[in-house]
Amino acid sequence: MTSTAINFATYPTGADDPLSLLPRTPIRECAKNEVIYGSGDRAEVLYLIIDGRVKVSRMAGPDQEVILEFCHKDDFFGETGFLPDGRYGEQAAALEKTTLMSWTIGDLKRLIARTPALGSALLQVTVEKLEHERRRIESFCLDPIHRRLAKALLELARRGGQAAGEQLVHVMPTTHEQLARYVGTSREIVTQHLNQFRRENLVRYSRQGLDVDPAALGRYLEGV
């Protein structure tokens, strides 16, 4: 793990973007699979992804990992640091080589006291994540596995995908096991549904991984 500097002049900011109100800090570089913080660590830092991806998860039991979210470039994580219990209660790990910027919770509270707009901007980010989690809970209650998986693929394509042709979006490398722990099923069932999606031309496999057709997946969700 190393720290380095970066030129943020190329990073666009908006009036309601927390980054436009936050001081720049040194960049932390994390290797693939490096644990950024553990569930028992003191919750003292809020992180921002500059590049790369991070998995945030909890352990529901021995060898029973539940993936709470996949975080991509420009995402904040570690918001549980604002809670009073003092522990994250979750683990964050880099899914690939990742660079981060961070602020201590104490510094953020002092900055918010001086710049109330920062508090509003961070609250907006947190509420948007909360609304996303509410939709996921609703899906867990109402949707069968194939719909949960289709929604997860659409989310991954929207948030971290790269164009792979006129209609296709390349989903960053995500294993069947990780998808299973995100949608609440087994790796074997995820593989079964992905094979069915491929037969229906909703997804394609390539040497680089998985390509999805967002428009086709959207139509699929409307019809099932």
Q: Tell me the residue type at 22.
A: L
- pLDDT attached to residue 8: 34
Whether the pLDDT of residue 39 is over 70: the answer is yes
- pLDDT attached to residue 67: 94
Chain-centre distance for alpha carbon 187:
20
Whether the pLDDT of residue 180 is over 90: the answer is yes
| Every domain of the chain and the residues it spans | 2-140, 143-223
| CB distance 20 to 9 below 8 Å | no
CA distance 60 to 36: 19
pTM, rounded to two decimals? 0.84
Residue 61: band (very low, low, confident or very high) from pLDDT cuts 50, 70, 90: confident
- pLDDT attached to residue 14: 44
Fold (CATH) for 2-140: Jelly Rolls (2.60.120)
CA torsion angle 4 51 139 216 (round to 10): 180
Average pLDDT, the chain: 87
Is there a common fold for 2-140 and 143-223?
Answer: no
Fold (CATH) for 143-223: Arc Repressor Mutant, subunit A (1.10.10)
Higher pLDDT, 69 or 4: 69
CA distance 222 to 7: 44
| CB distance 212 to 154 below 8 Å | yes
